Structure 1
């Protein structure tokens, strides 16, 4: 197949590009050209996707069998792309988010659960609805928290920062909120598995690790991943409503239960996560955190100090 990836030079896009090239596909990346292609022979078309005229100029003459839209956040990001390729592409794979789900008393989230119209990810669901209404042969992927090497969001690195420096780990609430992480390699693998599957068209798939973990459990697993004693890790619980952090984040995850069922992806896509949580965190620590030198970098712990002083 000749495949277009929107983005392709950061995090998930890097993993997906490598997998598709290894499978023998011809991969073309569309991005601003700020980073080199993750695979030398991959062609890049440079442009700004938010400029619809430029997008049309750069892509209208191109033909693709499939498109992966990895970085469209709002409907306005994806609609111009659909208008170009609506009747010219066999499969349109859209990176959505499990963050679209409405907070619920019943968990895990499954693909048919109600969505939250006020979610900060509402643009993702609006895009899913648009793709369906336009009869685009699409598949939407809804990951929970994504982690792994090259993660540009402070997630596992937030825990590593404190653990490698033998600092207490401040965790909101009682530490028993249940969450879910999925390794970037596993997410990219599931996305690649969508190709060539008629059954996947018109479907939405939750994709993440197949086990859940508490906040405290995540901290202890991070400690094990960096070679520290989980039993000796000092965790400090606090009530976030007692603090005014302004716009700064004192903790990298939403303080609620947040996890989704991935059985539909496993059964219909013939997909299985390769990484359990510990092996995935070890991968991120050894092949990203240490390699980047972040263990030696200056870290701002001022919010931690504010919490610790009050507890």
Structure 2
């Protein structure tokens, strides 16, 4: 018997690859809900156009099925989650999976950051338009955990670090590929100190698949973060290796980079280092290396630009 999967979002990047991957497996009946801006048109995947904040619309449009998993890619505030959970009865949900973010953690020098590290205590004005992003995601996590415990709904929270790979629309690795492909100069910080950790979208999809229906993940939150420590310099080394192309680089101070508004995608003044081992122990799997993930990413980039 096929399992029913309800996906909220699912048409961009992580959600898109997850939806495609699950659709290739004949064991699932998949329904996705989004605003219809990017129709997927994938085989038997049922697409419902509805704003997730439209409670009456959700109640009318959602199929009256028992969902083996409700996977929520785009709950940014507690109201987002509340509206969806109010549209479904507790008997309909066998597992709720919230895709959160490592941005819910507070600033700390105690690295790597694990799931029990200190969380934000309020918005971050220094981030400008994104000031509320991490804090609102934390509040959403807290609402989901409270609601699901109250209604005895198994839930799982996934907190990806920096995701890269197929379908990435964010200006991360793509901006470096664009520069090297067009033989333009890559500007890098002269002090190659900040270290970052990533998770490939292929690993993120694999983890999500393994979490569905897995009691080992119920009532728990997990970081998704590969073990490789990557600086800007190391990132360029990896890109040169996977592309076979030489890069033209120019080194500048962090102050000059900020003054010139060079659009580098990662911080210049702090590490982003996370412990992603809890999910490894729970699911018994290994992350792919950053080199392998970037090789796959470059291959996809070339195919999508030909």
Matching of residue 101 in structure 1 with residue 105 in structure 2: yes
Q: Give unmatched runs, 5+ long, in structure 2.
A: 125-132
Q: 1-side partners of 2:89 and 2:198: how far apart?
A: 33
Q: 1:209 is matched with which residue?
A: 226
Q: 2:53 is matched with which residue?
A: 50
Q: Cα deviations across residues 3-62 of structure 1 (Å, max 9, x unaligned)?
A: 101122221112212333316121111122333336311111221113233223222734
Q: 2:201 is matched with which residue?
A: 184
Matching of residue 118 in structure 1 with residue 123 in structure 2: yes
How far the C-alpha of 1:263 sits from its partner, in A, is 0.9
Q: 1:86 to 1:115 in 2, by over 3 A?
A: farther
How far the C-alpha of 1:171 sits from its partner, in A, is 2.5
Contact 1:29 1:44 in 2 (8 A): yes
TM-score, length basis structure 2: 0.86
Q: Cα deviations across residues 87-137 of structure 1 (Å, max 9, x unaligned)?
A: 121110000001111121111110011112325311111111011111142
Contact 1:9 1:38 in 2 (8 A): no
Q: 1:309 is matched with which residue?
A: none
- SS of 1:39's partner is coil
Contact 2:194 2:267 in 1 (8 A): no
CA RMSD of aligned residues (A): 2.1
How far the C-alpha of 1:235 sits from its partner, in A, is 4.1
Q: 2-side partners of 1:268 and 1:224: how far apart?
A: 33
Once the two structures are superposed, the pairs formed by residues 81-230 of structure 1 within 5 Å of their partners are 81-85=84-88, 87-88=90-91, 89-116=93-120, 117-119=122-124, 120-134=133-147, 135=149, 136-172=153-189, 174-229=191-246
Return 278-287 or 53-62, whichever deviates more.
Answer: 53-62
Contact 2:6 2:71 in 1 (8 A): yes
Q: 1:269 is matched with which residue?
A: 283
Q: 2-side partners of 1:151 and 1:36: how far apart?
A: 17
Contact 2:54 2:83 in 1 (8 A): no
How far the C-alpha of 1:290 sits from its partner, in A, is 4.9
Aligned length: 288
How far the C-alpha of 1:244 sits from its partner, in A, is 4.0
Matching of residue 11 in structure 1 with residue 16 in structure 2: no
Match of 1:252 among 262, 265, 271: 265
Q: 1-side partners of 2:41 and 2:108: how far apart?
A: 39
TM-score, length basis structure 1: 0.85
Q: 1-side partners of 2:87 and 2:162: how far apart?
A: 31
Q: 1:86 to 1:129 in 2, by over 3 A?
A: farther
Q: Give unmatched runs, 5+ long, in structure 1.
A: 294-311
Q: 1:19 to 1:291 in 2, by over 3 A?
A: closer
